[in-house]
Structure 1
């Protein structure tokens, strides 16, 4: 009778404890304290060895009923506490749908980026592959491999920023063309966009940091006619109409012959960029046989295109991050 009394008291105590639970964190420790291997129920049942053979089945049945009742009570308490937790969370996170939302203005593509994207889309449509390279270059890739040795007068036109380790900030994305040709065999048809640097005096039409987009084609039988047709088609798609275009003789150390490209836009002649047939010395520098392969290259200033397309009067507006200006695009 003593064990039966202990079981009854345990059930009452456990029932009160379960009813007083307030958080899910309290649930498992309470279960272990009553129903665990070393819990209070197990401790009471250790005394069954003193019972007679007739009492053991009856006390065992009572113990099982108490155990099942406590397990049911614990499960119900768990459900109750989970529902209470969800209700409290919903109450804390309730949204007032009548309140105005937080306004987050949509961003816009910068006019320089949109111009680059527009040009790249055109060249990809013409079958070109985009190639990129580092902005910090060696003299070899920026000058020497492009037929511009240290004593070449053309270096004065492309004075740049030299670093303490002997490298420099590239003056043109033509260096990407050299790197690409070193790792690829003809035929080659690439367009190389990117930021370049020159020690120019900053004014309404010049900047020490600007963007270029250059293209290179190398294959057997490439002629100046291919160059002219490509440039004219690019300009037609870029400006949306077939503009009058003039190829004016010029000089670049890495092309021969070379030309400047002018277009007639809204009654005025505008210089758009330079181009020419790849100089044989450049082909030799990357291991191509100039007796077998020929090619053409052309380069355009992204800022110039952006200024013409959007009628921007000062190149510095593209870099000042003035929202009054940028919100127009």
Structure 2
């Protein structure tokens, strides 16, 4: 048996010396040292040895195993170093090469318009107020003079979470929350930007869009204050020669109410495709705050008055940048968004 072990050692070391890849090395390890390997097969015959021979043969077997394991370990280290060296060479960076220019990002056109509108009104002394996007029916409708049986609710096809919770259809609830938080203090002078949700989806409407609403409450606020404020806004937004006109309209939360048109900034009011030949473009809704809304906000309508207005950011952006489909703003199309980098 001693001779068999010695022969096995010589054979194994000779084959291991010729190994040039990790796969073959592992195969030889299993062949000689595995549970069903050749060394194990030889050692199974130790049962037939005498008690004096077993320690001697066991020592020889351990010597053979150690010799084979040492060569295998050395080969594994060699292969590992070779692989590391190869990977380092492949991953070498030539520091003398010029750097790769990273693509330049830019502000989304809607974010740009929101910031521009905010800057204009902050410059006129307004504060920014925000509120939750998931609202109660009370704040979204009832506190705005829209009780549950009011027909004007049909104008806003809403997403309800429960019977009393919905994703807001307008940022007007923020106006009520702001008035209630002020607890009757005046003046109130805020704009309320944010996302709103309605069941619309076509070239000019989206189920999700952005609104910015404004609210002023103080003693002796008049319709002329509203018109002057909005005239100042459109001149800064669309150009110093822009004019406005107010057309009678209806909103449950304002009385009187008015749609606000601006003179077409493309044709100067002479009539073109953008303004459909009228010389005017509708941009927002407005009016004097309804007495019931003032009461819900905690203000005495006999002492205080106010005006409110609201605009869709996407509509302003479409007019400002000449975009004819609202869905472009949400499509994440880089060829579209790249056009606004230098603006």
TM score, norm. by length of structure 1: 0.70
- Alignment partner, residue 138 of structure 1: 136
CA displacement at 1:204 relative to structure 2: 1.2
- Give structure 1 regions of 4+ aligned residues with deviation exceeding 6 angstroms: none
- Alignment partner, residue 300 of structure 1: 311
CA displacement at 1:95 relative to structure 2: 7.1
- Alignment partner, residue 250 of structure 1: 249
1:111-132: CA deviations, max 9, x gaps?
0000000000000000000001
- Alignment partner, residue 337 of structure 2: 326
Aligned counterparts, 1:280-319, within 5 A: 280-319=291-330
Matched, 1:279 2:277: no
CA displacement at 1:304 relative to structure 2: 0.8
- The whole-number CA distance in structure 2 between the counterparts of 1:102 and 1:173 is 45
Aligned counterparts, 1:153-302, within 5 A: 153-164=151-162, 166-184=164-182, 185-200=185-200, 202-265=201-264, 266=266, 267=271, 268=275, 269-302=280-313
CA displacement at 1:99 relative to structure 2: 2.0
CA displacement at 1:199 relative to structure 2: 1.1
- Alignment partner, residue 20 of structure 1: none
CA displacement at 1:245 relative to structure 2: 1.3
- The whole-number CA distance in structure 2 between the counterparts of 1:145 and 1:124 is 27
1:227-274: CA deviations, max 9, x gaps?
000011000100122313110000000000000001121232211010
Provide the secondary structure at the position in 2 that maps to 1:262.
Answer: strand
- The whole-number CA distance in structure 1 between the counterparts of 2:323 and 2:246 is 25
CA displacement at 1:96 relative to structure 2: 4.2
- The whole-number CA distance in structure 2 between the counterparts of 1:205 and 1:241 is 27
CA displacement at 1:101 relative to structure 2: 1.9
- The whole-number CA distance in structure 2 between the counterparts of 1:181 and 1:259 is 22
- The whole-number CA distance in structure 2 between the counterparts of 1:255 and 1:242 is 29
- The whole-number CA distance in structure 2 between the counterparts of 1:134 and 1:321 is 26
- The whole-number CA distance in structure 1 between the counterparts of 2:240 and 2:314 is 20
- Alignment partner, residue 57 of structure 1: none
Tell me how many residue pairs correspond in the alignment: 238
Unmatched tracts of structure 2, length 5 or more: 1-91
Unmatched tracts of structure 1, length 5 or more: 1-93
Aligned counterparts, 1:91-110, within 5 A: 96-110=94-108
1:154-199: CA deviations, max 9, x gaps?
1000121000373101011000000111111211100011111111
- Alignment partner, residue 41 of structure 1: none
Provide the secondary structure at the position in 2 that maps to 1:231.
Answer: helix
- Alignment partner, residue 67 of structure 2: none
CA displacement at 1:100 relative to structure 2: 3.0
- The whole-number CA distance in structure 1 between the counterparts of 2:256 and 2:198 is 24
